[in-house]
Amino acid sequence: MKSKLKYALVCSIAVFLAGCGTTNTVIRGDWVAKRNLNQIETSCETIPRIYSGVSYDICLLRGKPSQMALWVAPIPQLIFLDIALSGAFDTVILPYTVYTQISNGDIRLK
């Protein structure tokens, strides 16, 4: 019983991190953020690399609903939880994102 609970917890964390704004912009690469945000036709044209997870989530809110974003529709509070968690993760990796912002500039979406 305890191992099933641990397994469920690990799977839940993995699924949540797959949708995390910071994961989509810092770890997975620029093309993932570009594809996801263009798919929902957001009006955002660029995302700064500093606090990119929070910016990504705000752009998600500005986009049109789509099949990709159905997980947000039933529970819209999830996106606000993700904004808070992305803010915390973005703060932890701030030295890295400052360096990449200086080196590469903003993430271009259009």
Over the stretch 38-87, which tens digit does the pLDDT of each residue have? 888 888 999 999 999 999 988 888 877 765 555 544 456 677 888 888 89
Query: Which tops the pLDDT comparison, 106 or 76?
Result: 106
pLDDT at 4: 66
- Tell the burial category of 68 from Cβ atoms under 10 Å away from its Cβ (0-12, 13-18, 19+): middle
Q: What is the mean pLDDT of the chain?
A: 80
What is this structure's pTM?
0.75
Q: Provide the β-strand partners of residue 108.
A: 46
Indicate if the pLDDT at residue 32 is higher than 50.
Answer: yes
Provide, for the chain, the percentages of residues in helix, strand and coil under a 3-state DSSP scheme, each rounded to the nearest 5.
65, 5, 30
The domain ranges of the chain are: 2-108
End-to-end CA distance of the chain: 49
- Please give the DSSP secondary-structure letter assigned to residue 73: T
In this prediction, what percent of the chain has a pLDDT beyond 70? Answer: 73
pLDDT at 67: 58
Among candidate residues 23, 27, 38, 42, the one with its CA nearest the CA of residue 86: 23
pLDDT at 105: 92
